[in-house]
Amino acid sequence: EETVSKNFIEQEIDKDLAEGVYSEVCTRFPPEPNGYLHIGHAKSILLNSGLAKKYNGTFHLRFDDTNPMKEDMEFVESIKEDVAWLGADWKEHLYFASDYFDVMYECAVKLIKKGKAFVCDLTADEIREYRGTLKEPGKNSPYRDRSVEENLQLFEEMKEGKYKDGEKVLRAKIDMSSPNINMRDPVIYRVAHMTHHNTGDKWCIYPMYDFAHPIEDAVEKITHSICTLEFEDHRPLYDWVVKECEFDPAPRQIEFAKLYLTNVVTGKRYIKKLVMDGIVDGWDDPRLVSIAALRRRGFTPESLKMFIELCGVSKSQSSVDYAMLEYCIREDLKLKKSRMMAVLDPIKLVIDNYPEGEVEYLDVDNNMENPELGKRQIPFCRELYIEREDFMIEPPKKYFRLFPGNEVRLMNAYFVKCESFETDADGNVTVVHATYDPETKCGTGFTGRKVKGTIHWVAAPYAKQAEVRLYENLVDEEKGVYNKEDGSLNLNPNSLTILKECYVEDSFKDAKGCDSFQFVRNGYFCIDSKDSTSENLVFNRIVSLKSSFKL
């Protein structure tokens, strides 16, 4: 029997279900539509949708669009695409928090009637001053004791547009001496004469996040409202709003630690600057860790799921090594993808004793470790391309690849022996000459002699030229992500290498955007969904084959 230990959130849910606090589980992912989602959001999406699935419950996708200042609806579609791509299914449960403005207004009126909220004329600066500090209790606002009638009238007038932005706010009446500053009569509604993308000019007052969020959860009958740690000391206010607005059953907030990756830029501000400065090719540049970028780079939903599961859920803040993410994509693609031959830095190999103009087709396993992927046929002829680094004029010790007089195996084909080479005026090798031994054909069981090196190749007249993009971290790992002096990014000047003259097997001609492959010895690659065409193939390296990462 498999024993899988439950994370702390699952343990809490089990307890709630056992005690009958809730009879079923309902979770949500509540993004603000103000930017693209990144790997951290993927954690929240997979965690919330995963819990709903595990407990046979419901998962909601809710756009938290209550702040008319910050939203940009262009992000709604990209967020939906990303959430769906990760496999989180919200079914018909797609919501917009701005649809609850009426409910929120009613809740505010209810609080006023209960004597639990008041209209305050202090300025933002004064409110901050009166709020006190961690060491010092706050002071009551001089407007705190307004009568219910006066508060109702003033709030109504706020709604009707009688006051300018900032002139009046509605505050919860809680406790100005609470050790938790969030409980010191927080502002719950403010005046903002702004057009909202959904409700137009219907409202000129808007709820604050700490008031809106619990109501959104309660209206949707969310049971477990899972959020990140920075909201931990907002939880008393969350509970206060739910209780005083008399929602039953009450949703329950549970916090977990944000996901951080080492040597990766996640700050929106920084990414925006990289895009603006033209250092990266948009929000989906394959060196970024937005979900769109990870998808374009060739990561799969399965690999991200595996990664998030390995990270686990906890309350303690820590950074995860990017190498673990790479480990997950390798694991995911290992048996699923064909292993093709592609030459990234070509040099010609001429097999002098192979008849000119002749071609033979060799049977090749698509993936030796997974026979289900079948076989393909690849052409072999007199002129091939091999990697420049697989030939040396004067090899160092333990170099087992091609050099004058040495014999190697051409992967899936024959043994070839290097006979000579040609150079240009500068001494650069232009062509390597070899002879092949027809007896040594791969798959015939030839055992006459052994060679120590095997190199890959493609048949020159049949190969397709392609562009290959190799990536390194965007930031200089040695120096850390941010410059200690001025806060700027420590960029790695080698984060992108573009190889324009690569040769791939002809069988790639039908490949589509995001299709991925192993290029033997070179790594895993995918077709770039933005720039690749059937005429001009562009591949992104997802990850190399080697890794120092150990689980």
Query: Residue 225: enclosing H or E segment and its boundaries?
Result: strand 224-228
d(CA 247, CA 220): 11
On whether the CB atoms of residues 284 and 528 are closer than 8 A, the answer is: no
CB of 11 to ligand ATP, least distance (A): 19
Stretch that binds ligand ATP, among 11-19, 39-47, 178-186, 290-298 (CB under 6 A): 39-47
Nearer to ligand ATP, 174 or 226 (CB): 226
CB of 216 to ligand ATP, least distance (A): 12
Buried b (16+ CB within 10 A) or exposed e, 475-510: bbeeeebeeeeeeebbbbeebbeeeeebbbbebbee
41 binds ligand ATP (CB under 6 A): yes
Task: Establish how many alpha carbons lie within 13 A of residue 82's alpha carbon, considering only the half-sphere containing its beta carbon.
Answer: 31
CB of 328 to ligand ATP, least distance (A): 17
Pick one of Mg ion, ligand ATP, none as the site partner of residue 350 (Cβ within 5 to 8 A by kind): none
CB of 7 to Mg ion, least distance (A): 23
Interacting residue with ligand ATP among 34, 153, 199, 435 (CB under 6 A):
34
Residue with the CB atom nearest Mg ion in the bound state:
32
32 binds ligand ATP (CB under 6 A): yes
Stretch that binds Mg ion, among 27-35, 167-175, 218-226, 327-335 (CB under 5 A): 27-35
d(CA 469, CA 14): 48
Stretch that binds Mg ion, among 30-38, 413-421, 423-431, 492-500 (CB under 5 A): 30-38
On whether the CB atoms of residues 475 and 491 are closer than 8 A, the answer is: yes
In sequence order, the β-bridge partners of residue 429 are 423
d(CA 261, CA 250): 34
Nearer to ligand ATP, 268 or 273 (CB): 268
d(CA 364, CA 362): 6
d(CA 408, CA 416): 6
Residue with the CB atom nearest ligand ATP in the bound state:
40
3 state SS of 353: coil
Nearer to Mg ion, 32 or 81 (CB): 32
258 binds ligand ATP (CB under 6 A): yes
Nearer to ligand ATP, 41 or 131 (CB): 41
Q: Omega of the bond prior to 31 within 30 degrees of 0, cis?
A: no
CB of 286 to ligand ATP, least distance (A): 20
Other residues' Cβ atoms within 10 Å of the Cβ of residue 370? 15
Pick one of ligand ATP, Mg ion, none as the site partner of residue 43 (Cβ within 5 to 8 A by kind): ligand ATP
Pairing of strands 383-387, 458-459: antiparallel
32 binds Mg ion (CB under 5 A): yes
d(CA 155, CA 191): 10
Interacting residue with ligand ATP among 13, 16, 26, 30 (CB under 6 A):
30
CB of 450 to Mg ion, least distance (A): 59
- Per CB under 6 A, contacts with ligand ATP among 261-320 are 268
CB of 182 to ligand ATP, least distance (A): 17
Pairing of strands 429-437, 415-423: antiparallel
Buried b (16+ CB within 10 A) or exposed e, 267-292: eeebbeebbeeeebbbbbbbbbbbbb
CB of 38 to ligand ATP, least distance (A): 7
Interacting residue with ligand ATP among 12, 17, 21, 40 (CB under 6 A):
40
Nearer to ligand ATP, 41 or 173 (CB): 41
Give contact residues for ligand ATP (rule: CB under 6 A): 30-32, 34, 40-41, 43-44, 227-228, 258-259, 268
Binding site for Mg ion (CB under 5 A): 32
